[in-house]
Amino acid sequence: MKKNILIIGPSLKMGGIERASSNMANVMRQNHDFHIYFIAFFRQEKFFKLDSGIEFFEPLGFNETKINFLRSILWMRSVISTINPDTILVFNYFYGAIVRLALAGKKYPLYISDRASPLYQWPRQVKWFNDFIYKLLPPSGIVAQTGIAADYKRKFFKNRTRIKVIPNALREVMLYPEIKREQMILAVGRLGDPLKGFDRLINVMALLKNLDWNLVIAGGDEDGEYLKKQSADLGIENRIIFLGKVKEIDKVYAKSGIFVIPSRSEGFPNALCEAMAAGLPCVSFDFVAGPRDIITDGFDGLIVENGNVPALAEKLDFLIENEDERKRLSDNAKHITERLNQLKIGNLYLQFILGEDE
């Protein structure tokens, strides 16, 4: 008899958690031993698509722009009872707490895929709610994306729940061998998020000895005026290009020469993994969390002391001047597609939420 697996995510609009949750549902759907169900917390514009065999639920008449807490709890409890799943996987720690409360008194196995950086500061009321619910009603298990994130969760949960490190699955990155690489240093992320560290990267560009390579920043709905002002103040505005939101990011990966990630903190740096899969030599600050779970320093990328701007500039100058080193790192980096294969990661999730890894 087929088992019912329920996945719960924010919605199907464009976003990191939305992509991870919908991808996981589609990957699990490929295993025909299961019925896959998907519940969205919000009724929003759909960007990602689910396999036609996945039964989809979303709220009607509420949770369109902001969450209605009480209606969400009552609706979740009703829908989940109708589905009667054998196990539940919720993407996002806060949404997991809401679902846990909605299922108080019921015995469904509930697993949470925690997406936030260990250093992320929840709003005070959300943090209080999360802590209260999880202390009173711990879930069956927590999936952490990195070893550091798992350590943080172990300190909170002690031995009250199972915790397992499973990295993000890597989407298929399109390769364009016909596109010639240019003298471009690429960074990707939301311009308005200070944790992305683009201000640090602009300071790095001001220290580069090589003046032939440009910095290209892709991503974000914001115009990045504060970054443009910073680059103008440093006299390097003509060497920094802001692409804005990019639909075909894989083509940008294909024509870039080096990828850099200057973040202060991440949950799991997906753009770094995608750049490695695209064959880019990558340089990263040693932030919390992710780089050391992804890069083997000196083998398939370079890691620099977090916040050490002169050291990052030095590494970039080194790569710019050494084409052979760029190629060596590039060749090794491509193996990340094997490590983070979607089916492989999906099977790790299945084993965990079905208790088959114990």
Per-residue pLDDT, 222: 66
Domain count, the chain: 2
Is 358 contained in some domain? no
Same domain, 162 and 237: no
Q: How many CA atoms lie within 13 A of 307 on its CB side?
A: 4
Same domain, 220 and 313: yes
* Helices 198-207 & 309-321 angle (0-180, nearest 10): 60
Domain that holds residue 221: 184-339
Same domain, 203 and 89: no
Is 101 contained in some domain? yes
Same domain, 217 and 319: yes
Instruction: Please say whether the beta carbons of 149 and 289 come within 8 A.
Output: yes
Q: What is the greatest pairwise CA distance in the chain?
A: 67
Is 177 contained in some domain? no
Same domain, 127 and 223: no
* Identity at 158, one-letter amino acid code: K
Same domain, 205 and 300: yes
Cα(38)–Cα(101) distance, integer angstroms: 19
In CATH, what number is assigned to the domain containing residue 190? 3.40.50.2000
Q: How much is the pTM? A: 0.86
Per-residue pLDDT, 245: 82
Number of C-beta neighbours around residue 6 at 10 A: 25
Per-residue pLDDT, 119: 84
Is 140 contained in some domain? yes
Q: What is the pLDDT of residues 281-330, one digit of tens each?
A: 999 999 988 899 999 999 999 999 999 999 999 999 999 999 999 999 99
Mean pLDDT by 10 residues, the chain (358 residues): 94 88 93 92 92 96 94 97 97 97 96 91 95 97 94 94 94 94 95 91 97 92 82 96 90 98 92 97 94 96 98 98 98 96 94 85
Is 297 contained in some domain? yes
Same domain, 276 and 216: yes
Per-residue pLDDT, 120: 86
Q: What is the pLDDT of residues 173-216, one digit of tens each?
A: 999 999 999 999 999 988 888 889 999 999 999 999 999 999 99
Is 28 contained in some domain? yes
Is 330 contained in some domain? yes
Same domain, 149 and 238: no
Same domain, 79 and 145: yes
Same domain, 112 and 191: no
Same domain, 287 and 346: no
